[in-house]
Structures are given as structure tokens and as C-alpha cells.
Amino acid sequence: MIAYQRISAKGAFGMIDCQNEFGAGGLIDVVTGKGGLPKAVLRHSSGSCAEIYLHGAHITKWYIPKFGDVLFVSKESFFEPNKPIRGGIPVCFPQFGSSGPLPQHGFARTSDWELAGRDRLENGAIAIDFRLKDDEETLSLWPFPFCLDLRAVLEEETLTVTLGVRNRGQQAFKFQVALHTYFSISDIHQTSVAGLREVRYSDALSEGALFTESASLIRFDREIDRVYIEAPDKVEVLDEGNHRKVMIAKQNMPDIVVWNPWTAKSQRMVDFGDDEYLQMVCVETGVIARSAELNPGEHWNGTTAFSLTTF
């Protein structure tokens, strides 16, 4: 790991050129993004690229020349401090949804993270690290000292995101954590999610009642908002209209959420276009159904790797 000057949303930022540091590597720029928020732009030598805002360590773009943009970001999204970006890969921590007393999905996605370092890996992949630690504000909401790390590794056609949580305090704490990933699709009517058949799920639209998935391919004709419990580590998003399949491979992130807001909820979301539900689907990975617990000094980490293929 080549450590370098810490860059935060409040600090100065400039060009970090992997090329010089790593030889024939990619390039990491830290530039001013939407709303004046700083973002890191990762460019892989294959032409793939990703963008990650320090606000929430929020991945807002993942582009592969062969497939185009993989992630969905609403045209109506806010890019403001204290508001979550609508789309990309929001980080939910230490709470998922409104399952506890904290703001919806916790405070990580609306916090300023630090850009903590970067690596060039053997195979030419570019890795970038972000860190969020407790401060007065988080401690006032959640009285536990913590360290939350996000590592994103960009390869030619794969993006791997690893989250790490460390208990820096003197008492145990429980937490939920998730990557709330929004995928860009051609048309929700030609999209399905494969790999969840026979898995138990909690249906948010039925007050959390438990059901078992009977479909090999989950299709969409209404709002779907389900937490699949202890789901298989590999699932797929089949985007027939784009003739592409997103493979999702998770480790130590037991649960999967499948969500599409459909019409009514879309109209209620001010940072989401009424018709944007047609072009997105959320398939999220995390520790949701059963919170994880860390004793003082203990560490948890979980990884989700995204890759694509045509079909």
C-alpha cells in the first residue's frame, strides 16, 4: 500500500497519476464532481472506469467499453452534503432501512469519507481505499467508536467492493451493513433476477412477513422490496434488452435485497424520476436480516464482486 496525503471532502485535492507511480497503470484523478463534491475517477488501462464520491464513498459510475454504464444514477439525484445520492452503490451502515432509530440506511452514505490510499495489483487492477471513522456527529447518533473501510478494485470487466468494520471502542456493538446497488437496465419488463429460488425472504410490502421464493427468475410487474435471507453467494441480473448479465458474487454478506419502486413509490421520491423505475433494479448485498456483532477490537469484512457477460 502506497500511503499518501489524506484527501477529504474538506481538504485540497489534486491529480494523482498512477502512471508515474505504478508505471503503465491506470490513472486516478480526484476532481470536483456534481454539486462541487470531490470524486475520485479511476481509469483502467482497458478503458474501463469508475467514479467514487468521497461523500458516502459512493460509487456513482462503473463503465466498461464493451457494455457501457453498469450502474443507474437518477437524473433527479441530489449531490449535496447530508443528502444521499440516488443510485450507484450507496453504503448502508450501521443500520439498514428504517429497522432502527438512526436515519434511514444509517449515516455512512451521507458522511464525508477520507480517501485513504491506493494500490496497483499484480494484474493491473486499480484499488482505491476510503475510510470513515466515528466523530462527534456519529457518536451523538450511535455511541460506538468504529472504523468503516471501503476498498474498490477496478479490473477490465470486474468491480470488487470490500467493506470492513472495526470496533474501536470498549464495548460490543451490533450493526447492519449493505451495498445498496442500483443497476442500469434497458427495461424492467425485460429484466429478471436469477438464483434465489427456494430462498426465504422477508417482504417489506407485507409488514416483513416471511415467504419462500418459488420462481427461478424473479420478474417485475409491481413494487418489489424483499430481503432474501442467507441467500446463495452467486446471483445474476438478466438484462434481456441489453443482452447482458450481471454476475454478483458475495462473501460474508449473507443477505440479498431485491427492490424496484414501481410507479407509486417512484412518484413519491423527490430525487427520482416518475418513470425511472423502468431503467433500474436494486440487487443489494449485506448483513441485514440478522445484525452482526463485534466485541472491542474485532473486525468484520465482506466482499461483493460484480462482473458482466453477454447473453
Instruction: Report the interface residues with ligand TA6, using CB under 6 A.
Output: 84, 97, 104-105, 180, 204, 225, 257, 259, 282, 284
Find the residue with minimal CB distance to ligand TA6: 259
Give the residue among 107, 159, 151 at the shortest CA–CA distance from 131. 151
Q: Is 44 helix (H, G, I), strand (E, B) or coil?
A: coil
**Residue 62 C-beta: closest distance to ligand TA6, Å:** 19
Q: How far is the CB of 141 from ligand TA6 (least distance, A)?
A: 16
Distance CA 178, CA 268 (A): 23
Q: Which is nearer to ligand TA6, 155 or 225 (CB)?
A: 225
Closer of 136 and 221 to ligand TA6 (Cβ): 221
CB contact at 8 A, 169 and 296: yes
**Closest CB to ligand TA6 among 22 and 182?**
182
| Cβ pair 172, 94 in contact under 8 A | no
**Least gap, CB of 201 to ligand TA6 (angstroms):** 12
Cell representation of residue 21: 507511480
Residue recorded with cell 475517477: 41
To which residue does cell 461483493 refer?
304
Tell me whether residue 103 or residue 124 sits nearer to ligand TA6 (CB atom): 103
The CA-atom distances, in angstroms, between 101 and each of 90, 97, 107, 203 are 19, 10, 11, 21
Closest contact distance (angstroms) between CB of 96 and ligand TA6 is 7
CB of 158 to ligand TA6, least distance (A): 23
Dmax over Cα atoms in the chain, in whole Å?
Answer: 55
Angle, alpha carbons 132-136-141 (nearest 5°) = 85
Looking at the DSSP bridge assignments, the partners of residue 127 are: 119, 153
At its nearest, how many Å lie between ligand TA6 and the CB of residue 70?
A: 18
> Distance between CA 224 and CA 112 in Å, rounded?
31
Give the span between the Cα atoms of 152 and 189, in whole angstroms: 31
CA distance 91 to 24: 31
List active site positions: 180, 284
CA end-to-end span of the chain? 38
CA distances to 71, 156, 283 from 194, rounded to whole Å, are 18, 24, 11
Residue whose CB is less far from ligand TA6, 247 or 269: 269
Q: Which is nearer to ligand TA6, 63 or 262 (CB)?
A: 262
